[in-house]
Structure 1
C-alpha cells in the first residue's frame, strides 16, 4: 500500500490533536462526498490485481521517510497544505474578475510540505525563546547590528518581569538539538525520536499559550508567500496584455475588436473550461491524498475528454461570433474583426482546455511551481510572437490571434515535458478506456465551479459590451482601462492568497492571537499596495494610455477615466485581502454573498443608470464598480472585526478532527 503523506504529528493516541494543531494543517479541510463516490466507483472498476500492481508501482517511485511509512492509511488526516491553490480565473484572456475566486481546499500534505511544517514549528519555538537558537548569537553586536535586529528580527523581545515571558528559558527547552548526542556511547538521536520530541515540545508550548508571533515574522512570511505568486500571475496576465499592446497601435477599431473578442471568448469558452476544470481541484487532490495515484491520471483524462467534447458547441459559437456580435454591438467593423479573431483562436481551444486540466494534475501532486516554469518560457514567447506576426511579418490584426493560438497549444506541450522529464509522471499510468465511464460525479462537482467562474467574468464583461454602445473610441478606451486594472489586480490578489494561507495555517494550529497579528499585517501590506497603485495610476494617467495606443482620442478618454480607476485601487486591494482572510477563517461563503450582492444588485444598476441615464458614459460605468468595491471592503472588514477568532479556532479543530 502506498505510503500516506501527512503533516507532522505524534505516533500516539494524540495524533489527531497534534495534526490539527500543525501550522501547516488546514483550518477548513473537507472531504467531498461526491469525490469519494467517484473514487469508489473507479476503484470498483479496477481488479484487485490491477490495484495492487499500481499501488506497488507507486511505492517504488515514492521515497518516503521511515517516519511516514509507519503510519497506516486509515489514520490519515485530510488537511490543507500550505501551498496555495491557483484561482480558476487566472489563465489568459479578458478583464479581471468581479468576484474574487476561492482557491480550492487541499486534502493532503506532500512530503515537502511536511518538512515545511516541521521547520515552521521549530522556527516559532526559537522565536519565542522556547528552543535553542539555530545560530549562536555573536558575542558583540555593532550599533547597526542592534538596530537591524530590533527592526527586522522576528524573535519576540524578552522583558524582565513580563508575566507572559519567563525571565529564564523553560527547562523543557534545554533538550538536545538535532545534532547533539543523547546516549553515553555517542549514538545520535533517531529521526523518529527527534520528531516525537518536537511534537511534544510544540504541544506543551501551545497548551501553555507561549506561542506568539511578531509583525516582522508575519511580514516576511506573507511577502515570501506572495512574491512568487505575483510573478506567476503577472506572467499569466501578460498573455492577454501582449495582444492588447501590439494590436492597440494598429488603430482604434482593432483595439476595440480585441476587447470584444476577449469578452466573447471569456464568457463562451475560457470561463467554461476554467469553471469545469475546478472539479479536478477536489477529484485529483483526494485521489492523490488517498494514495490511489493511478486515479489522478484517470481523472485528468476524463476531464480532458469532457472539455474537448464541449469544444464542439463552443467552436460553433465562435465560428458564428461575427453574426452574433453584429446584433449586439452597433459597430459592424469591430464585430467583423472580433469574429475573425475568434475563428483563429479556435485553433488553440483544445490546447487551452488541456492546459487548464493539466495544471490541476500537477498541482494535486504539490507541484505548484510547474506552471510557473512553463509560463517563464511561454509568456516571453507569446510576447515575441505577437510582435513578430503583427509588426515584423506585417500580418496585422490576424497576427495576434495566431500568436495566442500557438501559445495555447504550446503551454500544455511544455507542461507535458515537465511531467515527463522533471516530476509528476508518477501519477500517469497511460491511457485507459475507463476515462469514458463515471462522468456523473465529475459533472456534479464541475457545474458549481462553472457557475462561479461565469459570475466572476460576467460583471466586467458586461461593462465592455455596454461601452460599445457609446462609440468605437469608448470601446477601445474600455479595453485599455480593463487591462490596466487587471494588471494592478495581479499584485493584491496574490497577497490575499498568501494571507489566506497563513491565517488558515495559524487557525489550524489553534494560534488565534498569531492569526489576528497576521491578519493585521496583511491589511497593512494590502493598504500599502493599494496606495501605491493609487499614486501610480494618478500620476501617470497621461502616460500609461500611450503604451497601448497612439490614438489621441482614446488616450484623452482613458486619462479622463483613469482617476476613477485609481481611486478604487485602495478598495480593490482591501477587498481582495478581506476575501482572503475570510477564506482563511473558513467563511468564504460570506465573501461570495457580499461580492454578488454588491456587484449585481448595486454596482450594475448604478453603472447603467449613471452611464446611460445621466450620460456619464465610461465615467458612469466605472463609478458603479468603484462604489461596489468600497462596499465590499467595508462590509467584509466589519465582519472580520466582529469575528471571534477563538470560535474560529474551535470550529477548525472540530472540522480537522472530523476529517
Structure 2
C-alpha cells in the first residue's frame, strides 16, 4: 500500500500522509524497511505466483470489508496498539533491549477503533468537538472529584466558561471577543452542528477531518493527567508479562537456593551459560522475524507469515545442534574456567537436562513473532498466565515433593519450555491467528539468505547486552562459592526490579513515537516528562523496598546464613542505583520514541564496557572489595548512562524529530 505524494518539507500534510496508511512507528530498527526483507518477500510472492498463476491480494484481514472512506486512519492518526518487543525471558536484565518494530501496512478493525477513540478523546479535551457527558457540576460531588476535574485540561478551560444565554451550553472565555467576533481560540468547526454533547455521534470521516484541521493549526495539546493515564494503560499488561516471563527463571532459583549455596551458585552459572550460548542466540536470531513476518503480513498474502515462521524454526533447529554440543560439554568447559569443580559439575548437569527444552524454546520465540506480526500481543500474556504458575508448581513438585533435588529444577524448566509453544499453538488454532498459517511447505527449506543476514545484527546486539551483566556472575565465581550464590540472588533481584521501569519505558517510547508520527511535538514532550516523573517514582519505590527489606529478601532465596549476610551487605548499593536504573531505562525509551535509539545503544555500550566493567574488576579484585566492588561498576555506569542521555534529550529539538520522522516515512 503506497501513496504517490510529492515530498514537500514545508507541508506537514503531504509529508505525513503515509503515516496513517503504512502506520510505521518511529521506534525504528536496523531491520525496518530493510531491502533484504523486501527481496525475501518478493521472491516468496514470485514463487506463489508461479504456483498459483497469480498472487491474490485478497486482503481478507479483519475489518477490510468496511468502507475505505470510513476506516482509513487520518494522516495524523494515533494508535494505542503499540508493537511490543519480546521480553527477555531468561537471565539478568539487559542493558537496552532494542525495539524491533514490525513494518505493518494494514490495520485491524481493533486498531482502527482505537485510533478513532484516541483522536475523538483528544479533540474533546481541546474543545474541537462537544464533550461526551454533561459538564454541569453536581452538588453532591466530593472534593476529590471536583479537584480532579479542575486539574484536567478541559476543567481548566471550563473555569473560564461564561453562560451562553441562548444555548445554555456555555462558551469558553477567549473564544469570542467583546464584539462577538471569533478569536484564535474559536473552535474551527463550531459546536458540532449545535449539539450540546458529542457522544459517539461523530463519524470516522468527521473525526479525520477535524483532526487534520486541528493538527494543521497546532491546537492539539495534552496534559500530564492524560499522558499518565495512557502510560499506565500501555504499561500495566507489559509489566505483568515481563514479570511472568522472568518468573520462569526465578522459580528455579527460589527452589534450588534452599538446597544449599553450592546448588544456588550452580544454577546461576548454568543460567548464565544458557543465556549466552543458547537463549540469547535464539532471541537475537528471531528478531529478523519482526521485519519478515510483518512485511509478509502486509503483502496481502497472509500465509507468507507462516512460511517465514517455518523457515526460522528449521533454521533454529539447525542452530540447536552446536548449542547442544556446547551444553553437553558444559561440565568440562566450566571446570576449566570456574575454580569450584562441584559447582561446574552441577551446572553442566543442569544444562544437559535443559537441552531437552531448547527446541521448544526456539519454537516459542519464533511463534511469538508470528502472533505479534498479526497484532495479537495478548497471546503471549495468556500463554504465560498458564505456563508460569505451572512452572513454579513443577519446580516445587519435583525438587521438594518428589525429592528429586537439584535435578528437578531443570526438568521443570525443560517441560515448561516445551509447553510454551504447544500452548501458543493451541491459542492460534482455537482463538486467533490461524489465518496466517497455510500449512507446511517445502519452500521453507529455501530462501534462507535474507533471513540469516537480517538475523545476525540482532544476534550481536542481544549478545552484547546479555554479556555485560553475566560477566559479573562469572567473576563472582573466582571469589568463593558464597559470593557466587550471593551474586545469583543479587542479579535475580535487580533483574526483577527492572521488570517495572523497562516495560514503562517501552510504553513511553511507543506513546512518544505515535505522537511524533502524528506531528505533535508538544504533546510528545509532555509524554516524555511524564515518563521521567514515573521513572522517579518507580526508582524510589525500588530503593525503598530493597533497602528496607534487605535482611528479609535474601531469606526467600536461601537458608545459608553466610549468603544471607553477604546479600544484605551489598543490597544497599544495589538499592542506591535503582533510581538511576529506572531513569536510564526511561531515557532509553524516550530515545527510541525519538528514533534515536542508536544514541542509547552507543551510550550503554560505552558506559558498561569502557567504564563499568573496568571499575568492577579494579575495585572487586584490585582493591579487594569483593562483591561490593563488582557491583560498584554497574552503579556508576547507570548514573553515567542517565546523565549523558538526559543531557542529549534536554538539547533535542522535538520539532526536528517530527521533521525527521516525516522524511523517514515518506521515503520508506
TM over 0.5: yes
Pairwise CA distance, 1:62: 3.9
Deviations 1:282-341 (A, max 9, x none): 000111122121110000000000000110110000000000000000000000000000
- Picking from 177, 187, 193, the partner of 1:170 is 187
DSSP 3-state at the match of 1:210: coil
- Aligned pair in 2 of structure 1 residues 604, 597: CA closer, same or farther (>3 Å)? same
- Taking the TM superposition and a 5 Å limit, the aligned residue runs for 1:292-311 are 292-311=301-320
1:134 is aligned to 132
Determine whether 1:446 maps to 2:448.
Answer: no
- Aligned pair in 2 of structure 1 residues 593, 149: CA closer, same or farther (>3 Å)? same
Moved more, 127-136 or 552-561: 127-136
Pairwise CA distance, 1:653: 1.4
1:120 is aligned to 118
Are the counterparts in 2 of residues 23 and 120 from structure 1 also a CA contact under 8 Å?
no
Are the counterparts in 2 of residues 79 and 107 from structure 1 also a CA contact under 8 Å?
no
- Aligned pair in 2 of structure 1 residues 357, 76: CA closer, same or farther (>3 Å)? farther
CA distance in structure 1 between the aligned counterparts of 2:456 and 2:420, rounded to whole angstroms:
25
Gaps in structure 2 of 5+ consecutive residues: 4-11, 161-172, 177-181
Are the counterparts in 2 of residues 23 and 505 from structure 1 also a CA contact under 8 Å?
no
- Picking from 33, 36, 41, the partner of 1:34 is 36
Determine whether 1:99 maps to 2:116.
Answer: no
- Aligned pair in 2 of structure 1 residues 323, 562: CA closer, same or farther (>3 Å)? same
- How many residues matched? 636
CA distance in structure 2 between the aligned counterparts of 1:178 and 1:608, rounded to whole angstroms:
70
- Aligned pair in 2 of structure 1 residues 204, 653: CA closer, same or farther (>3 Å)? same
Gaps in structure 1 of 5+ consecutive residues: 7-12, 182-187
Pairwise CA distance, 1:18: 4.5
- Picking from 206, 213, 219, the partner of 1:197 is 206
CA distance in structure 2 between the aligned counterparts of 1:560 and 1:177, rounded to whole angstroms:
68
Determine whether 1:631 maps to 2:640.
Answer: yes
Pairwise CA distance, 1:195: 2.4
Pairwise CA distance, 1:84: 3.7
- Picking from 489, 500, 514, the partner of 1:480 is 489
Pairwise CA distance, 1:103: 3.7
2:166 is aligned to none
- Picking from 209, 217, 226, the partner of 1:217 is 226
Pairwise CA distance, 1:97: 1.6
- Aligned pair in 2 of structure 1 residues 433, 21: CA closer, same or farther (>3 Å)? closer
- Picking from 512, 525, 529, the partner of 2:538 is 529
1:184 is aligned to none
CA distance in structure 1 between the aligned counterparts of 2:409 and 2:304, rounded to whole angstroms:
38
Pairwise CA distance, 1:99: 3.2
DSSP 3-state at the match of 1:483: helix
- Taking the TM superposition and a 5 Å limit, the aligned residue runs for 1:237-316 are 237-316=246-325
Are the counterparts in 1 of residues 476 and 484 from structure 2 also a CA contact under 8 Å?
yes
CA distance in structure 2 between the aligned counterparts of 1:432 and 1:24, rounded to whole angstroms:
31
- Aligned pair in 2 of structure 1 residues 285, 315: CA closer, same or farther (>3 Å)? same
Pairwise CA distance, 1:113: 1.5
Determine whether 1:459 maps to 2:468.
Answer: yes
1:9 is aligned to none
Are the counterparts in 2 of residues 84 and 497 from structure 1 also a CA contact under 8 Å?
no
2:49 is aligned to 47
CA distance in structure 2 between the aligned counterparts of 1:24 and 1:523, rounded to whole angstroms:
26
Are the counterparts in 2 of residues 97 and 457 from structure 1 also a CA contact under 8 Å?
yes
TM-score by length of 1: 0.91
- Aligned pair in 2 of structure 1 residues 300, 201: CA closer, same or farther (>3 Å)? same
Pairwise CA distance, 1:156: 5.3
Pairwise CA distance, 1:150: 2.2
Determine whether 1:603 maps to 2:612.
Answer: yes
- Aligned pair in 2 of structure 1 residues 590, 293: CA closer, same or farther (>3 Å)? same
Deviations 1:457-490 (A, max 9, x none): 0001100000000000000000000000000000
CA distance in structure 2 between the aligned counterparts of 1:586 and 1:548, rounded to whole angstroms:
40
CA distance in structure 2 between the aligned counterparts of 1:286 and 1:32, rounded to whole angstroms:
10
TM-score by length of 2: 0.90
Pairwise CA distance, 1:31: 1.5
- Picking from 48, 67, 81, the partner of 1:83 is 81
